[in-house]
């Protein structure tokens, strides 16, 4: 099979996704990451549609990209107009970018119903626009909009639109499933016909409304298409675009079509997460190849199989895409999960089987009391440390007390009441017992402040650690305020993040347990514990 070129449209089509709004700086960062990944083309935006895209294109032209080439997006000239008088086309030329991708109608129904013009005028619009851009020194890609829907209604006309683009000098004609509802065999059949009919390179651009965007893109490649368009994490309007994070490994690892180097492929997971962070969307843990759960194993016998033979329960080696396998610790786990996990963390547990059995019993008991370690690996790691005979915790709680006071205020203020929380805490570090108190805007915050105050004198580096997420879940909702409460805390030191869990019928105690684990974990990891 011939070579496949990747064309990323995260910054243009992907930015159409609900809830995504990239700033110019975000777009510049993503552009550099896409270049690191090794895509051939990056669609930067539609200069005619908004000033932000124009600003980005100007800034992006100053980046020194290693491989990727920038493309600008626009559309064919308007009905009944000369190409050289069309503002949209003029703007594309003015950007100074060397590649223009223009969208053209490729379905007879779209031409008559939406554009409201004749089939012949549409063909002229395509060729005029391509010729104008070529004459102004640009390479032209033509997005044949609604190609697959049009092919079902009037295949001959849809193929004529492709030929009009090719004959006018377009470098590549991209077959689009704009509404995203085509089936795999429909895409295969129409793409094969296009491949026979048109002499220039073909591309594929599909949306995911039928959940088949990746499958349809791969079918088009099989039919001879050489440019694959898509977005990182499949971001895009409605149900999204074809997901490059699934397509790239499928091409490389399953179809043996090299489009980026092995080293670039190993950055895929990192880039997928970077783009979701930048989009301010939480990464999908269940995403194929790059999701955090893509290679996690919960059932004990799977983990047992994995320990014996790496490929026993995974379709590819996760390291090839920069992901990793993960044994999930839960009440379904067996002893193998624990030894596997300990090895993964670099903790050498004693070979004594009864101790591992004891740990497993302890985990199951805690899970029945509301703990859950699947997403709180730091708390799990602490359980392992604590089972070691030579483990000395960096601090121990003696006791704490939290007061919450609500004061009524004069009604002239916006707030009728002010809430004040104060925590007093006694902890032991080595042989010393420290007693501190601190105020906070709530009881958990006050506890956090008091604990830090007590520990900072021993561990000044702790100042870098802060809490970034705090989640409370009520476990048996039917019992109301008497029910078991689980608290998850996520912390960071600026370099890494870790999650801890606490559970109790008392929300303050559950919070304390998660908070204390967060601090103990970090101190233990940093080996700052007083010896």
CB of 147 to Zn ion, least distance (A): 12
* Complex with Zn ion: residue 247 or 501, whichever CB lies closer: 247
CB of 177 to Zn ion, least distance (A): 9
CB of 337 to Zn ion, least distance (A): 43
Distance CA 171, CA 365 (A): 65
CB of 73 to Zn ion, least distance (A): 10
* Complex with Zn ion: residue 101 or 503, whichever CB lies closer: 101
CB of 13 to Zn ion, least distance (A): 4
- DSSP calls for 479-517: GGGGS-EEEEEEEE-SS-EEEEEEEESSHHHHHHHHHHH
Give the other-Cβ count within 10 Å of 421's Cβ. 21
CB of 16 to Zn ion, least distance (A): 8
Question: Closest Cα partner for 84 from 129, 139, 124, 134?
Answer: 129
Q: Are the CB atoms for 202 and 224 separated by under 8 Å?
A: yes
CB of 11 to Zn ion, least distance (A): 13
Distance CA 419, CA 423 (A): 13
* Complex with Zn ion: residue 13 or 490, whichever CB lies closer: 13
Residue written as token pair 């991209």: 174
Residue nearest to Zn ion as judged by C-beta position: 13
* Complex with Zn ion: residue 13 or 86, whichever CB lies closer: 13
Q: How far is CA 283 from CA 4, 31, 293, 449, 503, in A?
A: 27, 19, 11, 31, 26
- β-strands 417-429, 432-440 pairing: antiparallel
* Complex with Zn ion: residue 213 or 260, whichever CB lies closer: 213
CB of 240 to Zn ion, least distance (A): 10
* Complex with Zn ion: residue 238 or 461, whichever CB lies closer: 238
* Complex with Zn ion: residue 13 or 149, whichever CB lies closer: 13
SS3 content of the chain, % helix, strand, coil (to 5): 45, 20, 35
Q: Are the CB atoms for 142 and 113 separated by under 8 Å?
A: no
* Complex with Zn ion: residue 12 or 267, whichever CB lies closer: 12
Distance CA 329, CA 138 (A): 56
* Complex with Zn ion: residue 49 or 61, whichever CB lies closer: 49
* Complex with Zn ion: residue 16 or 492, whichever CB lies closer: 16
CB of 126 to Zn ion, least distance (A): 18
CB of 214 to Zn ion, least distance (A): 15
3-state DSSP of 457-486? CCCHHHHHCEEEEEEEEECCHHHHHHCCEE
Distance CA 232, CA 245 (A): 6
Q: Contact positions toward Zn ion, by CB under 5 A?
A: 13
Question: Please, how many CA atoms are within 13 Å of residue 457, restricted to the half-sphere of its CB?
Answer: 13
CB of 271 to Zn ion, least distance (A): 21
Q: Residue 32: phi, psi to the nearest 5?
A: -65, -40
* Complex with Zn ion: residue 5 or 313, whichever CB lies closer: 5
CB of 111 to Zn ion, least distance (A): 19
Give the other-Cβ count within 10 Å of 446's Cβ. 25
Distance CA 174, CA 202 (A): 5
Distance CA 246, CA 401 (A): 51
The sign of the dihedral angle between the CA atoms of 350, 351, 354, 360 is positive
Residue written as token pair 């759960």: 293
Residue written as token pair 């697959």: 148
User: What is the three-class DSSP state of 383?
Assistant: helix
Residue 58 CB contacts under 8 Å (≥ 6 apart), including other chains: 95
* Complex with Zn ion: residue 237 or 396, whichever CB lies closer: 237
Distance CA 477, CA 480 (A): 5
- Cα-atom radius of gyration of the chain, to the nearest Å? 29
Give the other-Cβ count within 10 Å of 522's Cβ. 23
């Amino acid at each position: 099979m011939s070579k496949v070129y990747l064309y990323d449209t995260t910054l243009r089509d992907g930015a159409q996704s609900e809830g995504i709004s990239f700033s110019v700086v975000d777009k510049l960062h993503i552009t550099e990451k896409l270049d690191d990944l090794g895509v051939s083309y990056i669609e930067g935006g539609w200069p005619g549609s908004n000033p932000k895209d124009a600003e980005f294109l100007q800034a992006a032209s100053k980046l020194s990209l290693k491989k990727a080439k920038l493309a600008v997006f626009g559309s064919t000239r308007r009905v009944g107009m000369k190409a050289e008088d069309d503002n949209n086309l003029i703007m594309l030329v003015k950007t100074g970018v060397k590649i223009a991708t223009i969208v053209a109608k490729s379905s007879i129904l779209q031409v008559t119903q939406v554009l409201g013009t004749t089939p012949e005028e549409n063909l002229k619009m395509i060729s005029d626009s391509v010729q104008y851009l070529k004459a102004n020194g640009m390479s032209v890609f033509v997005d044949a909009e609604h190609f697959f829907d049009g092919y079902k209604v009037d295949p001959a006309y849809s193929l004529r639109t492709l030929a009009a683009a090719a004959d006018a000098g377009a470098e590549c004609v991209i077959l689009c499933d704009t509404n995203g509802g085509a089936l795999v065999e429909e895409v295969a059949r129409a793409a094969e016909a296009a491949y026979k009919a048109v002499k220039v390179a073909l591309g594929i651009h599909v949306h995911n409304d039928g959940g088949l965007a990746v499958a349809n893109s791969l079918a088009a490649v099989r039919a001879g298409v050489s440019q694959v368009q898509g977005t990182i994490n499949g971001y895009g309007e409605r149900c999204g675009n074809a997901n490059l994070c699934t397509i790239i490994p499928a091409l490389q690892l399953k179809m043996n079509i090299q489009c980026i180097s092995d080293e670039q492929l190993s950055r895929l997971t990192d880039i997928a997460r970077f783009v979701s962070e930048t989009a301010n969307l939480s990464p999908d843990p269940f995403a194929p190849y790059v999701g955090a759960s893509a290679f996690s194993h919960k059932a004990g016998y799977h983990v047992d199989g994995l320990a014996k033979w790496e490929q026993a329960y995974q379709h590819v080696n996760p390291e090839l895409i920069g992901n990793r396998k993960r044994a999930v610790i839960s009440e379904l786990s067996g002893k193998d999960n624990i030894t596997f996990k300990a090895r993964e963390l670099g903790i050498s547990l004693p070979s004594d089987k009864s101790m591992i059995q004891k740990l497993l019993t302890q985990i199951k008991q805690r899970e029945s009391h509301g703990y859950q370690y699947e997403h709180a690996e730091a708390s799990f790691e602490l359980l392992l440390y604590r089972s070691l005979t030579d483990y000395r915790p960096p601090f121990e709680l003696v006791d704490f007390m939290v007061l919450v006071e609500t004061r009524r205020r004069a009604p002239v203020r916006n707030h009728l009441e002010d809430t004040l929380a104060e925590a007093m805490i006694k902890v032991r570090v080595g042989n010393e017992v420290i007693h501190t108190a601190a105020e906070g805007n709530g009881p958990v915050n006050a506890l956090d402040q008091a604990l830090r105050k007590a520990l900072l004198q021993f561990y000044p580096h702790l100042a870098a650690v802060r809490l970034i997420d705090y989640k409370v879940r009520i476990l048996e909702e039917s019992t109301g305020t008497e029910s078991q409460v689980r608290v998850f805390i996520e912390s960071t030191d600026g370099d890494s993040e870790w999650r801890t869990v606490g559970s109790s019928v008392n929300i303050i105690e559950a919070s304390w347990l998660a908070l204390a684990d967060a601090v103990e974990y970090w101190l233990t990891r940093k080996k700052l514990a007083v010896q």
